[in-house]
Structure 1
């Protein structure tokens, strides 16, 4: 597989065919891509709300209706919609949860290795909380790593996608009950198959020339 081909041919889909649905087998692969996305010190500070029913998509779309109405049909006509969420804190309880899962998955040769992992991850969590004071921003950057993983992965599966930041985060958090779960919405991705109205599909790809963005040393 030439993965560069998919990077060069994927695009932000502007209109979806509401009658075309992603099958379960394909969407299971997309779920796997999200779950196994990379994150700093394997912190995994994310959660994904997946809307595939009309009711679910309507909830998500309600966060676009007032100020971002052009994004509403993308969400309503997509096959599936993923709301990417970030944690609102990275406390010791959560760090322990991640550590114990790693232990169950057999990542540690002995107790010393387990403690070393916990010490290292706690160092970075404390660094961002107490010294850099940018924990929320740090966690959101990890969420965007998973966004990139999904977009490229969807293209390889010939699934169309559109990342969407144009929505009211307050409304989204409220309708999905995120705050009481210590989560907040970050970005949305609509997934499905483009319709004939997707003008972006026929436009040529445009990027700055290679000599402008690469420096070889």
Structure 2
């Protein structure tokens, strides 16, 4: 695919501007146009062997956000307002296990998208074999299949938040949620997934103390080695 349509952007400026909002303006909402872009970011994130081990619940109504806030109200009440005042809230969930149904769904979608057009049967079989090889590696040798899939979902979250910042939208990633409550509230385990974290998004309130604080990161020479 040609990338001529891409316009240059100073991604470093976007990264510098991005921060974790501590309070949201409840009167400001993200446009439907921008939300459509953010949903595409969720869908288009890279994953190992294109496994796409994730599921997302987007709460955009007061009722939906109140359901998400059940995961903060008791154990993490300091996060409840970040859920209820935000424009939208996303529950990030990760696949619990890899079964044939999920793997075949991936193959079917790859076929529809033209990934195997040159040699449909051979290329589909090769993709399936390679994907299962890495799954087996993590399931039976490294014994970290759940952690492996969770890591990929967190990679999605990182790309998502940077993309939101490029649209001028604030975000707050939160592990201060009761994931068991989220799993039960939304029947996630019955769907084959388990909640990992929540990301609030919208526009920060004028009272957000974190909005004007300088960003603090280690110096490049402390963490980057060039060889």
Return the TM-score normalized by structure 1.
0.98
Offset of residue 172 of structure 1: 1.1
Structure 1 runs of 4+ with >4 Å offset: none
2:131 maps to 1:121: yes
Which structure 2 residues correspond to residues 25-104 of structure 1 after superposition, within 5 A? 25-104=33-112
Q: Which residue of the partner structure matches residue 191 of structure 1?
A: 201
Provide the alpha-carbon RMSD of the alignment: 0.7
Return the TM-score normalized by structure 2.
0.94
Q: What CA distance in whole angstroms lies between the structure 1 residues aligned with 2:206 and 2:58?
A: 25
Q: Which residue of the partner structure matches residue 17 of structure 2?
A: 9
Q: Residue 71 of structure 2 aligns to a residue in which SS?
A: coil
Which structure 2 residues correspond to residues 104-143 of structure 1 after superposition, within 5 A? 104-108=112-116, 109-110=118-119, 111-143=121-153
Q: Residue 56 of structure 2 aligns to a residue in which SS?
A: strand
Offset of residue 66 of structure 1: 1.1
User: C-alpha deviations, 1:90-138, integer Å up to 9, x for none?
Assistant: 1122111101110110001212111111110010111111222211101
Q: Residue 21 of structure 2 aligns to a residue in which SS?
A: coil
Q: What CA distance in whole angstroms lies between the structure 2 residues aligned with 1:170 and 1:95?
A: 26
Q: What CA distance in whole angstroms lies between the structure 1 residues aligned with 2:100 and 2:143?
A: 17
Q: What CA distance in whole angstroms lies between the structure 2 residues aligned with 1:75 and 1:8?
A: 24
Q: Residue 94 of structure 2 aligns to a residue in which SS?
A: strand
From 164, 168, 182, the equivalent of 2:178 is 168
- Which blocks of at least 5 consecutive residues in structure 1 are unaligned? none
Q: Residue 204 of structure 1 aligns to a residue in which SS?
A: coil
Q: What CA distance in whole angstroms lies between the structure 2 residues aligned with 1:166 and 1:123?
A: 35
Which structure 2 residues correspond to residues 146-161 of structure 1 after superposition, within 5 A? 146-161=156-171
Q: Residue 148 of structure 1 aligns to a residue in which SS?
A: helix
Q: What CA distance in whole angstroms lies between the structure 2 residues aligned with 1:94 and 1:176?
A: 20
Q: What CA distance in whole angstroms lies between the structure 2 residues aligned with 1:133 and 1:213?
A: 29
User: C-alpha deviations, 1:49-81, integer Å up to 9, x for none?
Assistant: 000000100010110111111100000000000
